[in-house]
Amino acid sequence: MFKNGSLIGVHNVTSSSVASGIFDLNSHAELSSAAIFPSFGRFGAPDTNHVHTASINTATFAPTIHYIETPSNDDDKNYSVMDFNFTSGSNAVHTVYIGNKIQGNPNNFHNDLCVGAVQVIQGGTIIMAKGAANSTGIQTTTNTGITSTDPTSQTFSNVATSQTAGRWNIATFTGSSRTGAADGISSDFQDSTTILANAGEENVLQVASTNFLYCEATGQTIGTIKWMKLPSVNLATSTAHTLSIAYHLAVLSAGGNDDEDDEILIFIEN
């Protein structure tokens, strides 16, 4: 593909509609560094079972979760994607929180939620992308007794590389057997280079020797919530956005999915 869309000049904004073909590697690198590499949209048809609606300043539980039942740890199946569609508030500054509520059905090894990437998207454009490979500003609660679905008054600390129970960590394996992903996903999803696939099950590949964000649930009290806080981001006000989360939840048993509407929750503060 002609990187300037067949136009004379430096760094004209290229799009797939004005220049067909394939980018060579040099053009891809050059356009990406200039933040003008064109977006080709999200991959695949959205699975409506994993597309949800959220409201500002209130907790929203994901009504459906894709569990991966596994007899061992470090499961290598693909990550899944869940979307929360929301309308931004009247103030530009928004803060996203992701909660993991500890459940016990039907037994242990049910709660070590792994997150590969989180993106805030507006009209097909990534506004913010974060993950273990781009973790600056990501924080976690460390108080293990939190039950409130409003995280805004909680105390947070920076995430760290560990397998510490009762908080969010950066890791490449979980601290419990029969849970966890083998690896994270491409850093391109975490630094705004590549938009996540549409919401669906097991549709984002794992990448060897990469980390993920995860909540270690060993010894935690059922019903408590472990909150992760993302850096605040400025959004166009009163505008449609999507919070997209690539996640992997390997469990010993899904327990008939009885807990799936009371386990993963989000809160968007404005």
Task: Delimit the domains of the chain by residue range.
Answer: 1-38, 45-269
Confidence at residue 10, expressed as pLDDT on a 0 to 100 scale: 52
Q: Distance (Å, rounded) from C-alpha 212 to C-alpha 169? A: 8
Interval 237-252 mean pLDDT: 93
Looking up tokens 């600056």 gives 136
> 132: closest CA among 213, 199, 191?
213
**Is the whole model's pTM more than 0.95, yes or no?**
no
**pLDDT over 90, % of the chain:** 62
Query: pLDDT class for 106, splitting at 50, 70, 90?
Result: very low
Candidate ranges 19-23, 75-79, 140-144; pick with highest mean pLDDT: 140-144
Confidence at residue 35, expressed as pLDDT on a 0 to 100 scale: 44
Query: pLDDT class for 16, splitting at 50, 70, 90?
Result: very low
How many Cβ atoms from other residues are within 10 Å of residue 72's Cβ? 11
Q: Distance (Å, rounded) from C-alpha 238 to C-alpha 262? A: 28
Q: Distance (Å, rounded) from C-alpha 175 to C-alpha 250? A: 13
pLDDT at 164 over 80: yes
Q: Distance (Å, rounded) from C-alpha 217 to C-alpha 179? A: 10
Q: Distance (Å, rounded) from C-alpha 38 to C-alpha 19? A: 11
Give per-residue pLDDT as tens, 182-222. 899 999 999 999 999 999 999 999 999 999 999 988 888 99
Cis peptide before 71 (omega within 30 of 0): no
Give per-residue pLDDT as tens, 22-73. 666 666 556 554 444 555 689 899 999 999 999 999 999 999 999 888 777 7
> 192: closest CA among 269, 131, 270, 268?
131
Confidence at residue 240, expressed as pLDDT on a 0 to 100 scale: 98
Query: pLDDT class for 17, splitting at 50, 70, 90?
Result: very low
Give per-residue pLDDT as tens, 82-105. 999 999 999 999 999 999 999 865
